[in-house]
A = this chain, B = another copy of it.
């Protein structure tokens, strides 16, 4: 059951919905996905604060590590980040010395992106921290639950 912070009835004096449920809404996959995603992101954001990265910055560093030399437009498309937001994001990573732009060997008009040594080191620290976050999730749903969940979510992502 999805409930908001449960309080004793005597606490329930001013604008608190107490232990009310959302009724039939909790049977909707979209609603359940949104609630879980907000909770997981909240924990992930706090986890990433230890290495001073926002979730999107972490994703970009990880993709740059997986595919060195990818073009800016390619990474932005892969992660579904808007072009203007993406440029600002890479500017910040470059200013922090974590990433660098270089002319693309395959396309002179665009920049390829590379992690610097400092970027690789920070990513390694970040991934260790992320492991703690994933362990908290596994504490809630188990290793087998995580495997099931990733399988189900990947099928849903194919929608549309």
A-to-B contact residues, CB < 8 Å: 1-2, 4, 14-17, 20-44, 55, 59, 62-63, 65-67, 70-71, 73-75, 77-80, 107, 110, 127, 130, 133-134, 136-137, 140-141, 145-146, 148-150, 152-160
Contact = CB atoms under 8 A, between A and B. Distances in A.
Copies of this chain in the oligomer? 2
Nearest to A62: B25
A114 to B, nearest CB: 15
A75 B134 CA distance: 32
A114 B67 CA distance: 54
A137 B29 contact: yes
Contacts of A136: 159
Given A23-B66, A24-B127, 17 more contacts: A14-B73, A17-B70, A20-B78, A26-B154, A27-B150, A28-B130, A28-B134, A30-B133, A33-B153, A34-B37, A36-B153, A37-B37, A38-B157, A39-B158, A42-B160, A137-B156, A140-B155
Contacts of A43: 159-160
Contacts of A110: 15
B155 A32 contact: no
Given A22-B63, A77-B4, A152 B155 contact: no
Contacts of A149: 29, 32, 149, 152-153
Contacts of A146: 29
